[in-house]
């Protein structure tokens, strides 16, 4: 689901008094530059910038919310490039950390679990994808009406159906099919208002092929 990124500064402002403000300012600068590069399709450059944001956040003593955000940005960008081993390690660590952040932010957990679920599904590991989609749905069901659109919920339910079919999980398939049918009956087959990122070999290859190349490095 599309969830607007919180400014990294809002997370870093909560840093402990022992934090290094220079590193934290650099983390915010690199993170913002990485988002802009990613929007331009410069994913290799964006991954490098995200790695610097994460490194500075870690060295600067950023709070858990800031670390989780920089890990997520770096891991997601690596996943977009098909570098799944490191991406999954970062995204899993980000998800585990985000679950413990106080106050609890369900939308942030949803964002991480959704990406991991799609990575697992698109790379042929449906049994790992299923619990991720259940976590997304569980938190989404607890949100106020309107925070998650029907189109977003249908997209997740379709992914859960696909994962359950691929895994041969009859119980999950029946439950997901029933929930998806109810959504379709109420809202029709509406599409999300933006394209969800997919992580199939063809999608990552196309992304790499379209990458215009590295932009100039942002100097510290």
Please report the DSSP string for 70-83 in residue order: HHHHHHHHHHHTT-
Per-residue pLDDT at 218: 44
**pLDDT value of residue 217:** 43
Taking the model in full, what pTM does it have? 0.88
Alpha-helical (H) ranges within 149-211 are 150-167, 170-187, 201-210
Predicted local distance difference test score (pLDDT) of residue 215: 43
H helices within 81-144, ranges in order? 84-100, 106-122, 126-141
Q: Identify whether the C-beta of residue 70 lies closer than 8 Å to the C-beta of residue 54.
A: yes
Q: How far apart are CA 140 and CA 138, in angstroms?
A: 6
DSSP 5-52: PPPHHHHHTT--TTS-HHHHHHHHHHHHHHHHHHHTT-HHHHHHHHHH
Q: How far apart are CA 97 and CA 95, in angstroms?
A: 5
Q: What is the pLDDT along the chain (220 residues), one digit of tens a residue?
A: 444 445 555 555 445 445 688 999 999 999 999 999 999 999 999 999 999 999 999 999 999 999 999 999 999 999 999 999 999 999 999 999 999 999 999 999 999 999 999 999 999 999 999 999 999 999 999 999 888 999 999 999 999 999 999 999 999 999 999 999 999 999 998 888 777 899 999 999 999 999 987 544 444 4
Domains of the chain with CATH codes: 8-101 (1.25.40.10), 105-212 (1.25.40)
Q: Tell me the HSE value of 168 on the side-chain side, using a 13 A CA sphere.
A: 0
User: DSSP secondary structure string, 46-69?
Assistant: HHHHHHHHHHHHHHTT--HHHHHH
């Amino acid at each position: 689901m599309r969830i607007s990124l919180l400014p990294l500064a809002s997370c870093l402002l909560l840093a402990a008094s022992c934090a290094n403000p220079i590193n934290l300012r650099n983390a915010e600068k690199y993170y913002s530059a990485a988002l802009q590069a990613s929007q331009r399709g410069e994913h290799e450059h964006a991954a490098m910038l995200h790695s610097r944001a994460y490194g500075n956040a870690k060295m600067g003593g950023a709070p858990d919310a800031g670390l989780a955000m920089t890990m997520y940005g770096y891991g997601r960008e690596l996943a977009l490039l098909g570098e799944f081993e490191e991406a999954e390690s970062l995204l899993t660590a980000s998800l585990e950390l985000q679950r413990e952040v106080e106050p609890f932010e369900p939308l942030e957990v949803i964002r991480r679990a959704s990406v991991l679920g799609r990575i697992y599904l698109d790379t042929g590991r449906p049994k790992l994808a299923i619990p991720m989609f259940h976590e997304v749905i569980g938190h989404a069901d607890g949100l106020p009406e309107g925070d998650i659109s029907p189109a977003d919920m249908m997209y997740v339910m379709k992914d859960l159906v696909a994962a359950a079919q691929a895994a041969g999980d009859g119980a999950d398939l029946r439950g997901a099919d029933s929930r998806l049918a109810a959504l379709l009956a109420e809202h029709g087959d509406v599409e999300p208002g933006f394209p969800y990122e997919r992580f199939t070999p063809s999608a990552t290859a196309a992304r790499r092929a379209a990458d215009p190349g590295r932009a100039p490095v942002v100097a510290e």
